[in-house]
Amino acid sequence: MKRLFTPNLYVALTHYPVINKNGDTIASAVTNLDLHDISRLSRTYGVRAFYVITPLQDQKILVERIVSHWLKGVGAAYNPKRREALELIRISDSIRDVSAHISSSEGQAVKTVATCARTAGDCLSFRRLRAGLKSGAPHLLIFGTAWGLAQEVLDSADHVLEPVTGCTGYNHLSVRTAAAIILDRLTGKDG
Amino acid sequence: MKRLFTPNLYVALTHYPVINKNGDTIASAVTNLDLHDISRLSRTYGVRAFYVITPLQDQKILVERIVSHWLKGVGAAYNPKRREALELIRISDSIRDVSAHISSSEGQAVKTVATCARTAGDCLSFRRLRAGLKSGAPHLLIFGTAWGLAQEVLDSADHVLEPVTGCTGYNHLSVRTAAAIILDRLTGKDG
């Protein structure tokens, strides 16, 4: 059985730069259920903050409205457990801004770990990342939307995490379910 | 490292009988992303079939329309990988019908395993269920929507699986992300 611990871990969901089906770099639209599912996961696995990254002003306003409904609006009274999760959300322009913000508050450079469904050249294994997290060093786990993170994000991250595989070779999970599996493998109890 | 294997596993997503916030038994509405996320998970982890359970005629028609779009409609050409996942979906009236159908086709009684976020009295551990799956016996993993499966489902199942816990005590995941973690713990690779 794996030992339980609370990692010094941050999560980012990136809407730019990501790629579309044709491999073009785009800014994707925010999906409401991504915010709910990944903030609830973050709360479950002790993630310090959940950054929603988009440079688009209308998308930032959308995220603010959704979060505000559950933090201060009707939703806060209707479902306080949802508030506990969504209060982890921070809105940011770029991965660079998020990294700088975490590094500044931690007093040391955050290790950035990009996730990718494709097998990149030199991937970081779950086992090695788990060991890194146990050292207490701050890590930022970066997820992409649409068809995944743009190559420039993979190139500039400190590490690219090995892809999630099941037992079939099929490798097309939603970002919500991939984030669930990754957070559980890194920090969860496996009874 | 856990060994990879393809289990003799079926998944059901139940919309009746489930409970609402007040504990009343209700029939919930189908959520489009549940169908996509859980069928993609099922395809990833080698699940034999993904049963969507609702007795409501309008909800069955909705599921048929969604599935048809990706199996035969514009979606089939746009994203063939999505078709490979959604073709695992079967629509059924009740858990009883699903169990009978699987048991008949397998030539032996399927073991039913209900999932629940609350800790029930005598839960089946992930470890024991994983061992059961390795025996090759057919198992049906039952997920609830809304505020979870009605007590009668937990009472009538062969087993209730232990709840998914992270490292914080917060235990309010979406059914999509809970299904992801459970399937990965039962059958996935943990490198």
Q: Is the peptide bond before B17 cis (omega within 30 degrees of 0)?
A: yes
The rounded mean pLDDT for chain A is 94
Put simply, whether the predicted model's pTM sits higher than 0.80 gets the answer yes
Nearest CA in chain A to B39: A173
Cβ atoms within 10 A of the Cβ of B42, count? 26
**DSSP assignments along B1-44, one per residue:** -PPP----EEEEEE-SSEE-TTS-EE-PPP-HHHHHHHHHHHHH
Is B172 touching A (CB cutoff 8 A)? yes
Mean pLDDT value across residues B46-66: 97
Q: Which single residue is written with the structure tokens 């459970």?
A: B182
Over 60: is that where the pLDDT of A191 sits?
no
Question: Strand locations in A78-183, DSSP E?
Answer: 89-92, 111-114, 139-144, 159-160
Q: How far is B112 from chain A (nearest CA, A)?
A: 20
Nearest CA in chain A to B41: A173
Q: Could you read off the pLDDT of A34-54 as tens digits, one per residue? A: 999 999 999 999 999 999 999
Give the pLDDT of residue B191.
Answer: 40
Determine which helix (DSSP H) or strand (DSSP E) holds B82, and give its type and residue range: helix B80-86
The torsion angles phi and psi of A85, rounded to 5 degrees, stand at -85, -50
ipTM higher than threshold 0.90: yes
β-bridge pairing A50-53 and A9-14: parallel
Q: Which two tokens stand for residue B159?
A: 């087993």
Cα–Cα distance for residue pair B113/B123, rounded to 1 Å? 10
Cα–Cα distance for residue pair B132/B126, rounded to 1 Å? 10
CA-based torsion, B108, B109, B114, B119: positive or negative: negative
Q: Do B177 and A178 touch (CB under 8 A)?
A: no
Over 80: is that where the pLDDT of B91 sits?
yes
Over 50: is that where the pLDDT of A1 sits?
no
Q: Which two tokens stand for residue B157?
A: 């199942």
Residue ranges of domains in chain A, CATH in brackets? 9-187 (3.40.1280.10)
Give the pLDDT of residue A6.
Answer: 80
Burial B50-77 (b: 16+ CB within 10 A, else e): bbbbbeeeebbebbeebbebbbeeebbe
A10 touches A51 (CB < 8 A): yes
A-contacting residues in B 56-115 (Cβ below 8 Å): 79, 81-82, 84-85
Give the pLDDT of residue B2.
Answer: 56
